[in-house]
Amino acid sequence: MLVTAYLAIILLLAICAGLEIAARRLSPPQHAPTAVANPAFRRFQALFLRAYLLALWSDWLQGPYLYKLYRHYSFLESQIAILYVCGLASCVLFAPVAGWLPQALGRRKTCLLFCLSYSACCLTKLSRDYFVLIIGRVLGGLSTSLLTTAFESWYLHRHVDVRDFPKEWIPGTFSKAATWNHGLAVGAGLVANMLAEWLHLGPVAPFLLAVPCLAACGWVVLTDWGREEAEGDPEGDKHTPLLAGATNAAALARLSARARFWRSCQEGLRCLLSDRRVMLLGAVQALFESVLYIFVFLWTPVLDPHGPPLGIVFSCLMAASMAGSLLYRLATSSRYRLQPGHLLCLAVLMAFFSLFMLTFSTAPGQPRPRESLLAFLLLELACGLYFPAVSFLQARVIPDEKRAGVLAWFRVPLHLLACLGLLALHGEVSGTGGGEEGSGTRHMFAGCALMMLAALLAVVSLFTLGRNDTDLRLEGPRGEGEM
């Protein structure tokens, strides 16, 4: 498995390089030339990406060795499952708070809160106390929720409301962030492997490295973003009312933010229940992405007993996901012009096949780790196709003003399904009388395959319903600009 992992990463990186070259030839960058030539926008974009990419890098560093760290502390698989459930449950609980905080506390302060909470989460990994580790998982759930909302909220507010740049330039920034994100994920696996295994610093080392990276992110937010806000609002606090008035104004602002948040949730639920396309798309997302959360828990115990370098395996998985996103760009280019709906169906079908493979490669007493690794890579390849396809469809069927509320409702069943799956695994493992390597993992993969089959049926229903629906199809000669 050691040799297999290193050969796989070399092959996958070569494939990604070839796909990137082909994608650039067939689908040149779609952002407006005016945005590229505008020095003020380029400075603003670089300012945002500097902090955002540091935050993403810190997040990816914690991926390869989380399960390994808990095993290093001699916890059982059932205990580790509970730790993962605590993280997912905190995501459910903090998702509404994360949507409300940028409006109530302030966008930049919320980003600083992310840096503090995630740093505290990483530092809890130094403890072997189970309760401290649970607190760390709760902090991790809060931080993950903030990462998906606070940074984007700050950027959109500054881009549209303060800088008054054209809205058409926004996708260019997040497309660049997505491109960097894949590279950061691959690099994080390699760096984590170097720290944990090559330098023999142990599985806690990547978490400790994330702390100074988060500190650097917080410094950029505190200083550079602070100067950006001061330049955007040169009057500063000159018109701030007296203390009593300021207190009342702050209270009114909090009430207004809370009212906007609940109104967004109500409108999102109304949109979800009134449009069957949105309901089916939410079902696909809940089923597919809840399986991914379970996969994040299971890939390490499946492969680790066979001795592969976990950081290299993690980089392989991320490289496979990168290859999938590049394939999406190629498939929707002017030469091939495949529809995102067809690619979504293909992604779900590939994921189902990979999980079906895993039900056989993880048979008790007859493990086949190379086949399991191949199935995991296929699942990540499917993820690379899935995410841009589902993002395109969400942009088409969910109105802009209701999207935040609808997506918040999508995440509720997603996290609940993942929690129920991990709790079922915990119950099966703890009830087998010490059968840590029994049939629980295989049964879980079988259950995930059934969930993916249900997702496939939802995709088919969605496109049967909207067979002649132009909202679900690409327009024009190129699809890549719609991502």
Least confident piece of the model among 53-57, 370-374, 407-411: 407-411
Q: CA 207 to CA 284: how far, in whole Å?
A: 33
| pLDDT(357) > 70 | yes
**38: its two tokens:** 């505008």
Scanning 276-361, the segments in alpha helix (DSSP H) are: 276-303, 310-331, 340-361
| pLDDT value of position 181 | 92
- Position 265 scores a pLDDT of 67
Position 239 scores a pLDDT of 39
Sign of CA dihedral 331, 389, 345, 341: negative
The amino acid at residue 40 is A
The token pair at 109 is: 């302060």
Q: What is the mean pLDDT of the chain?
A: 83
Confidence of residue 435 (pLDDT cuts 50, 70, 90): very low
3-state secondary structure of 31: coil
One-letter amino acid at 153 equals S
Higher pLDDT, 51 or 476: 51
pLDDT attached to residue 451: 92
pLDDT in tens, 362-401: 888 788 999 999 999 999 999 999 999 998 888 888 776 6
Residue 143 reports pLDDT greater than 70: yes
Q: In the predicted model, is pLDDT for residue 293 greater than 70?
A: yes
For the whole model, what pTM was predicted? 0.87
106 HSE (CA, 13 A, CB side):
10
DSSP character string of 249-261: HHHHHHHHHHHHH
What's the rounded Cα separation, in Å, for the pair 375 and 481?
A: 31
Question: Cα–Cα distance between 24 and 38 in angstroms, integer?
Answer: 22
The predicted-structure confidence for 175-218, as pLDDT tens digits, reads as follows 889 889 999 999 999 999 999 999 999 999 999 999 999 999 99
How high is the pLDDT of residue 235? 40
Instruction: Please give the Cα distance from 139 to 145 (Å, whole number).
Output: 10
Q: At what angle do helices 310-331 and 369-397 cross, to 10 degrees?
A: 40
Please, are residues 234 and 224 in contact by the beta-carbon 8 Å criterion? no
